[in-house]
Amino acid sequence: MQRYSGFALARHALSHHENWQRQWRNPTPKKAYDVIIVGGGGHGLATAYYLAKEFGVRNVAVIEKGWLGGGNTARNTTIVRSNYLWDEAAALYEHAMKLWEGLSQDLNYNVMFSQRGVLNLGHTLQDMRDIQRRVNANRLNGIDGEVLDAAGVQEIVPILDCSKRARYPVMGASWQPRAGVARHDAVAWGYARGADALGVDILQQTEVTGLKIRDGRILGVHTNRGDIEAKTVGCVTAGNSGVLAGMAGIRLPLESHPLQALVSEPLKPILDTVVMSNHVHGYISQSDKGDLVIGAGIDGYNGYGQRGSYPTVEHTLQAIVEMFPIFSRVRMNRQWGGIVDTCPDACPILSKTPVKGLFFNCGWGTGGFKATTGSGHVFAASLAKGEMHPLAAPFSIDRFHSGALVDEHGAAGVAH
Amino acid sequence: MFHIYCPYCEEWREEEEFHARGQAHIQRPLDPETCSDEEWGDYLFFRDNPRGIHHELWVHSVGCRKFFNITRHTQSYEILETYRMGELPSVTAESVLPSAATAEASVANEKTEEVRA
């Protein structure tokens, strides 16, 4: 792998940038691998990368039905934070946060991770009590956080309407300064390049059509490019996990919903942090390119259409304009939807299954992007050792029968 | 924007008057005391999530406030029918795939045609 550096940039300038190496190969599938990852999104590619780098498993294939950065990885609002309430979730997201902080260096790829801070606004007394509790829990878990009053919020975001005139006046916020945003496509591409350099085969335009299972053991997958064998298969297919589990005769407690987001026309720099509000329910940041990145809730009903509904867009923009009257005349450029697999307790599933050698990493709902690094890391450890990583163990599928749920609706940030 | 026919009001109304409340026809176990953890967990948390025909419970929340059922396609979003509580759907996954008479055949069919992993 050619390393990226200022020197390389200067050297390639001399040949008019025509000789850059391709970022990853486009190999033909081998007959067998040690591990197959189904799903070439951020989490799948991160899993493959850490499998090769940290756990020495290099005979790995990532199978992707579309192209890299064509699914949910490129359909989110790029927010990264770790201010979760419960110990299990906080530990997992904070693990991810620590990996984010060194990711660009680790991958030799600029993922544009920007720790511009995240505000979670409170508009009611109960909001403020929940915020107080969550920030206290965060600090006990070694995660940075502060409770701000309305004046403190106004100081950080002068354009936010913190007046008493608002329909839902801002009473305060939780503030995580280490949180921020990362360039989502770059995360997928950086992991793909890193994994490829370590020998991982990334098979794009390859679709899993069935799972090969005999005597309760996984033997491989059927694809539209022939059968591929592997004793360990990790499924990381977000909105399609239920479909894939169905191929193995497994039922998951998931429901797939469209989650949509939208971006405005580009503006000059005006918002240098991330503002989220559960109460009026919208979240917003400004990309380095200048457009406002606005997140919405999920559609109330199950759906696999990657578009989302108009009422949700309207509801979200009402919330944004309520918070930022200054944006009322900004035009929206485009809108998109991704399919998220929501869990009853708003937490992911990282789990073994009744089929030996078959693992699932799914159910991230609306908050998967921020976990890309940590999810990949602990899932890789679990696949390499055949046992769930201690940080992943509380997210086993058994919890829906034992009742040991990690109920994170509050900190998940999006009502679902 | 959906236009939904409320089988109680007997009128077409806009989507925003309604709320989806998840999968329809979920039976509470008749004798919860004798349920195993598996059965109780399945009842509480496990839901169908098909790529295709789905039976859902909706409520006409700002209209008559009554619950009713919808049969809907989760890919095309087409609403195939609405029907009152206690009634059975006339459109099912089996009925639109005539070749798949048995449950087994319908699973096989799903694998070859419907599944896009």
Tens digits of residue pLDDT in A356-375: 999 999 999 998 999 999 99
Are A244 and A358 in contact by the 8 Å Cβ rule? The answer is no
Residues forming beta bridges with residue A356, ordered by sequence position: A217
Who wins on pLDDT, B115 or B103? B103
* Tokens linked to A87: 């110990």
CB neighbours of A36 closer than 8 A, spacing ≥ 6? A60, A61, A63, A220, A221, A228, A230, A232, A233, A234
Are B60 and B8 in contact by the 8 Å Cβ rule? The answer is yes
Average pLDDT per run of 10 along chain A, which is 416 residues long? 94 95 96 97 97 97 94 91 96 98 97 97 96 97 97 97 94 97 96 97 97 96 97 94 92 93 96 94 94 92 88 93 96 92 94 97 94 98 97 96 91 65
Q: What is the distance between the alpha carbons of residues A29 and A203, in angstroms, rounded to a whole number?
A: 7
Exposed/middle/buried for residue A9 (C-beta within 10 Å: 0-12, 13-18, 19+):
exposed
Q: In this predicted structure, what is the pLDDT of residue A41?
A: 95
Are A252 and A242 in contact by the 8 Å Cβ rule? The answer is yes
Q: In this predicted structure, what is the pLDDT of residue A71?
A: 87
**Minimal Cβ distance to B49: which of A38, A210, A255:** A255
A-interface mutation test, from B4, B40, B49, most A Cβ less than 10 A away: B49
Q: In this predicted structure, what is the pLDDT of residue B95?
A: 84
Phi then psi dihedrals of residue A170, to 5 deg = -75, 125
Between β-strands A118-122 and A274-277, what pairing exists: parallel, antiparallel or unpaired? parallel
CB burial string A145-154: b at 16+ within 10 A, e below: bebbebeebb
Instruction: Choose the final residue of a domain: A278, A312, A339.
Output: A339
Q: What is the distance between the alpha carbons of residues A144 and A146, in angstroms, rounded to a whole number?
A: 7
CATH classification of the domain holding A143: 3.30.9.10
Residues A402 and A351 in one domain: yes
- A279 belongs to a structural domain: yes
| Domain boundaries B3-90, CATH class | alpha beta
* Coil/strand/helix, residue A145: coil
Instruction: Choose the final residue of a domain: A277, A311, A339.
Output: A339
Residues A229 and A359 in one domain: yes
Interval B64-88 mean pLDDT: 96
CB neighbours of B36 closer than 8 A, spacing ≥ 6? none
Q: Is the pLDDT of residue B115 over 70?
A: no
Looking at every residue in chain A, the average pLDDT score rounds to 95
B67: closest CA of chain A, how far (Å): 15
Exposed/middle/buried for residue A188 (C-beta within 10 Å: 0-12, 13-18, 19+):
buried
Residues A271 and A334 in one domain: yes
Are A302 and B49 in contact by the 8 Å Cβ rule? The answer is yes
Residues A356 and A246 in one domain: yes
* Coil/strand/helix, residue A412: helix
Residues forming beta bridges with residue B83, ordered by sequence position: B69
Residues A383-390: contacts with CB under 8 Å, at least 24 apart:
A383/A35, A383/A47, A383/A51, A383/A57, A383/A232, A383/A234, A383/A359, A384/A35, A384/A51, A384/A55, A384/A56, A384/A57, A385/A55, A386/A232, A386/A357, A388/A350, A388/A351, A388/A352, A389/A350
B-interface mutation test, from A301, A306, A345, most B Cβ less than 10 A away: A301
Q: In this predicted structure, what is the pLDDT of residue A102?
A: 97
Q: Is the pLDDT of residue B103 over 80?
A: no
Q: In this predicted structure, what is the pLDDT of residue A266?
A: 97
Q: In this predicted structure, what is the pLDDT of residue B98?
A: 57
Are A23 and A191 in contact by the 8 Å Cβ rule? The answer is no
Domain that holds residue A279: 115-178+256-339
Question: What residues 368-397 of chain A have any CB closer than 8 A to a CB of chain B?
Answer: none
Q: What is the distance between the alpha carbons of residues A381 and A92, in angstroms, rounded to a whole number?
A: 13
Chain B residues whose CB is inside 8 A of the A242 CB are 49
Gyration radius from chain A CA atoms: 21
Domain total of chain A = 2
Question: What residues 258-317 of chain A have any CB closer than 8 A to a CB of chain B?
Answer: 300-305, 309-311
| Structure-derived torsion over alpha carbons of residues A124, A126, A128, A130, reported in degrees to the nearest 10 | -140
Residues A167 and A281 in one domain: yes
Residues forming beta bridges with residue A258, ordered by sequence position: A339
Note the ipTM here.
0.88
